[in-house]
Amino acid sequence: MNQTSYRLDGKTAIITGGGSGIGAAVAGVFAEAGAHVVVAGRNSKTITDVAARNGGLAVQCDVTCYDQVEALFSQAAAKTGRVDILVNNAGMSGPVMPVAEMDLEAFRACVELNLFGALNCLKVAARVMCEAGRGSIINMSSLMGLQGYPMRSAYSATKFALLGMTEAIAREVGPAGVRVNALCPGAVSGELMDRVLARRAEAEGRSVEAIVEENYTSVSALKRWVDPREVGTAALFLASDASASVTGDRIKVDCGRF
């Protein structure tokens, strides 16, 4: 395939949860591929920093608020005249605890952001992209959207649901030339994972090092963490013409955690 298939020149990509971790890495990879990146998130400072590094636009947005999502797409379109790509990445890790002790409000908050926040973005993106007759939507699911993990029932529930939405919506918008796919990262190194590990260590009464060795690095074929830019590169494939015939699918990026 021609190398230019992986370029995003002239395209506009909205990246939610773009101020750190996977979102920030995706913004960097996309900008290097020629995209104009619109970095969205709740933290004004972090999204401004990421946008500045990549010559993009920062838009403060809480994806759980539908009006703010509509404004996000409007600002992106006003800046460049088009919206070609959505990376539906905003999310939270949710409560880390056994279901018998579940904090129900924390569970609801996880569903509100990870699922309804994603739905708000999908609703607007589908309308905008179908009207334009083009587009690529990338939903950020997880390895925990493919198999449940102990004490992560809230997060797993949302990420399983996001895969079902990916398949359903891909069939809805496909006739208009819009593609919808999902990425399923495994354990990705960074601040979010550090917070998850700290909560899990407290809940299980074990050291972070023991949890990492037993549950993450030793059980992966490559014996290491996933780097955020590796998720960004997989997202680039799904955003670009290199994956022109791929829709309704999911790709694992997990260093071989079978």
Cα dihedral: 134, 89, 127, 84 (round 10)? -30
Report the 10 Å Cβ neighbour count for 142: 28
Could you tell me the CA-to-CA distances from 45 to 50, 130, 161 in Å, in that order? 9, 33, 31
Asked whether the beta carbons of 69 and 52 are under 8 A apart, the reply is no
- Closest listed residue to residue 253, CA positions, set 138, 170, 152: 138
**Of 6, 149, 155, 216, catalytic:** 155
One-character DSSP codes across 197-220: HHHHHHHHT--HHHHHIIIIITTS
Could you tell me the CA-to-CA distances from 27 to 16, 24, 112, 131, 157 in Å, in that order? 10, 5, 24, 25, 27
155 is a catalytic site residue: yes
User: CA geometry: angle at 118 spanning 117 and 124, to 5°?
Assistant: 95
Catalytic residue set:
155
